[in-house]
A = this chain, B = another copy of it.
Amino acid sequence: MELWFTEYQTPAIGFSCKSTSTLRTEKTAFQDLAVIETEQFGRMLLLDGMVMTTEKDEFIYHEMISLVACNSHPNPENVLIIGGGDGGTLREVVRHPAVKQGTLVEIDERVVQAARDFFPSISCALDHVKSKVLIEDGIKYVQENENCYDIVIVDSTDPVGPAIELFSKSFYANVYKLLRDDGMLVVQSDSPYYHPEVVRMAFNGIKDIFPLTKLYLANIPTYPSGLWSFTIGSKKHDPEQPCHTHQQGCRYYTNKLHEAAFQLPVLVKQIIGNGE
């Protein structure tokens, strides 16, 4: 018998992985969670039927959502991660030599538990000396705090289900207040090929609040279309220029790729109203 998992990345596109076993399926308070073993990508974490992370390609997303901001902020001492309960982003954040504390605020404790149970290579920094893990609603957390982080990273699911508020202007405005006066916000902002409307919504929402807003790209084979965007809003520093050389132990990120990731194809520029 062959088992295949299929994610319908759009109503007309399916991405299927051959699976050798199912390690966990549960309905948490917030979403459907599953962990399966796949032939191509090793263990895979699914939320509401969408691929969140896999053992084999997780480093691409986690390095790129973390290191662009951490390397272009001169003093990224305190970093907040909203979502990202698997721990991969936190692992990259606390690995950065300039970071003193990485705080993870994840709404769904079961995601953290699944990561601890099945993804040791991703969750390995949850108990790091620089790490702080809070099981809380990130939206409330950003409302209740002010002026205390250098970088905020929104490592959320796509804007359906519990994450939809994380793409709103009021949320971005609260993050602005939460950041110090040279702070940066980074969000995952979906696939330019399949969801240009999400890219545009995130980019424009952040651009309305932050003086400097830029989009950058990474190649993630298990995410829809293989091309993923991140939007970065900055109060002061240019996120395109690395000021730290940290790239040790990276499997995707380099300082040169950091700059190259901001060079956008024409059709991506056009999505964010920046076409030539």
- B-contacting residues of A (Cβ < 8 Å)? 4, 6, 10-18, 38-40, 57, 60, 193-194, 217, 219-221, 225-227, 250-254, 256-257, 259-261, 263-267, 276
Contacts and interface: CB of A to CB of B under 8 A. Distances in A.
B18 A13 contact: yes
B266 A251 contact: yes
In the assembly, how many copies of this chain are there? Answer: 2
Nearest to A39: B12
A4 B14 contact: yes
16 contacts: A4-B14, A11-B18, A11-B39, A13-B15, A14-B14, A15-B15, A15-B16, A16-B16, A217-B219, A219-B219, A221-B226, A221-B227, A226-B227, A251-B266, A252-B266, A259-B263
A225 B221 contact: yes
Given A226-B227, A260-B263, 10 more contacts: A12-B40, A13-B16, A14-B17, A193-B221, A194-B221, A250-B266, A251-B266, A251-B267, A252-B265, A253-B266
B263 A256 contact: yes
A17 B12 CA distance: 6
B6 A13 contact: no
Contacts of A11: 18, 39
Contact of A225 (B17, B18, B226, B250): B226
